[in-house]
Amino acid sequence: MLTESSFAARSFKPAARIAEIGVSEILQIGASAAAMRKQGHDVIVLGAGEPDFDTPDAVKEAASRAARRGETKYTALDGSPAMKEAVREKFRRDNGLDFSVDEISVAAGAKQVIFNAFMATLDPGDEVIVPTPYWTSYADIIRIAGAVPVLVACDAANGFRLTADQLERAITPATRWLMLNSPSNPTGTAYTEADYRPLLDVLLAHRQVWLLADDIYEHIVYDDFRFVTPVGLEPALRDRILTVNGVSKAYAMTGWRIGYGAGPAALVKAMAVVQSQSTSNPSSISQAAAIEALTGPQDYLAERREDFRMRRDLVVDALNAIDGLACPRPQGAFYTFASCAGMLGRLTADGRRIGSDRDFCAYLLNAAKVAVVPGSVFGASPFFRASYASSRAELDEALSRIARACNELQRQ
């Protein structure tokens, strides 16, 4: 008998634009870990893309006051006037940049800002250059927009930074955008002014190519690294750069869903058209919270940064102490991206051969009950990403389990 739901399952046909886009593998790993937990296994997940800190109290209070004041209605489409002012203040204070109100766009997360920008500008056949390893949503959003992500493999020896030569070779007449992300998810690599300069010079010579700079990890940088954003370095490119940022990572506000962009007014206007037919305005309460985050006291950012730095060093040192792993010390974000090349070819206790980073991560999940993400998910093998946005106790336990499981692997 054909039940209602099996009929629906048979007749369901996804649109071509999403047919080749799978569910995020990172979410799938999280689901496997959750299923193992349910069976009673004590799994530690080092997969999270969000800070483990709580949203600051002052930010929560601001949201609560806004709700009580009745700020519970639709706001201006791509951000309330007060929210846009807060974003302008942030760019002045942190980056020395002056944007006008019509150059600011506010959405439900940096992800929606990027989605709006690509939907507003890409046609079938257009190309977007995405250096790898990369945050996988970039490529999938580009595909949803009907365009082609052109993945350019960056060299681990160069910290996975894109070089001017690689950029020059990847540009074609169909190139519309270059996507850059510093500090990077998944590698933690950050670009200095000297790293950006040659890339900006290439862009100056190719007038059809715009730059989307994803600065979402701006405030999570370590040691004496000085964050810079491309539009601040090359004013001549100002009419071709969209700078994207948000409150998710710096202010531990992933659930509030507020991101923003600053770029040419014509682009911002086109992005508002996309948003007007999807979500309309970002949440009014969340905008009130984000205003407090962006314009209130900023001193806790330095404390949290220092806390992340200690955890980064803990994880990097522990991974490097394991024979077969090599982990560079990232300049920012809260991820390590270690090579597991030395593990390939080794055998598990039940005789299975580690043939790839996927095999290695599956082994860690089964043998060590630690979930990390294979580099192949981000377009680079053989590596794995571990997030250190977890408590020190959890990191200590995870690292000793990883060391034990690695030491149990037999060389052939």
Token pair of 365 as six digits: 């999940």
Binding test (CB under 6 A) with ligand PMP, winner from 46, 87, 104, 110: 110
- Contact status: 251 vs ligand PMP (CB under 6 A): no
**Taken in order 312, 33, 248, 251, is the CA torsion positive or negative?**
negative
- Contact status: 179 vs ligand PMP (CB under 6 A): no
- Residue showing the smallest CB distance to ligand PMP in the complex: 109
The residue to which tokens 């929606």 are assigned? 112
Binding test (CB under 6 A) with ligand PMP, winner from 149, 259, 332, 382: 259
Q: Which is nearer to ligand PMP, 246 or 330 (CB)?
A: 246
CA–CA dist 151, 379 (Å, integer): 8
- Contact status: 216 vs ligand PMP (CB under 6 A): yes
Q: Which is nearer to ligand PMP, 29 or 409 (CB)?
A: 29
> Which of the stretches 72-80, 106-114, 344-352, 384-392 binds ligand PMP when contact is defined by CB under 6 A?
106-114
Cβ pair 390, 335 in contact under 8 A: no
- Contact status: 246 vs ligand PMP (CB under 6 A): yes
Q: Which is nearer to ligand PMP, 107 or 325 (CB)?
A: 107
Site residues for ligand PMP, 318-357, by CB under 6 A, read none
Which residue, among 24, 244, 289, 1, has the nearest Cα to 117 in the 3D structure? 244
Size of the site for ligand PMP (CB under 6 A): 13
Beta strands 210-214; 175-181: pairing state = parallel
CA–CA dist 271, 110 (Å, integer): 13
Cβ pair 118, 92 in contact under 8 A: no
Cβ pair 323, 118 in contact under 8 A: no
- Please report which helix (H) or strand (E) contains residue 9, including its range: helix 4-11
Q: Which is nearer to ligand PMP, 115 or 210 (CB)?
A: 115
- Contact status: 55 vs ligand PMP (CB under 6 A): no
Beta strands 259-262; 241-246: pairing state = antiparallel
Which residue, among 370, 41, 107, 91, has the nearest Cα to 248 in the 3D structure? 107
**Taken in order 379, 380, 381, 385, is the CA torsion positive or negative?**
negative
Binding test (CB under 6 A) with ligand PMP, winner from 75, 116, 136, 181: 181
Task: Please state the closest distance from residue 260 (CB atom) to ligand PMP, in A.
Answer: 9
- Contact status: 368 vs ligand PMP (CB under 6 A): no
- Contact status: 149 vs ligand PMP (CB under 6 A): no
> Which of the stretches 107-115, 118-126, 338-346, 382-390 binds ligand PMP when contact is defined by CB under 6 A?
107-115
Q: Which is nearer to ligand PMP, 185 or 243 (CB)?
A: 185
> Which of the stretches 66-74, 79-87, 104-112, 262-270 binds ligand PMP when contact is defined by CB under 6 A?
104-112
According to DSSP H, which parts of 296-368 are helical? 299-320, 357-363
Q: List strand residue ranges (DSSP E) for 237-309, in order.
A: 241-246, 259-262
Residue numbers at the binding site for ligand PMP (CB under 6 A): 49, 109-111, 135, 181, 185, 214, 216, 246, 248, 254, 259
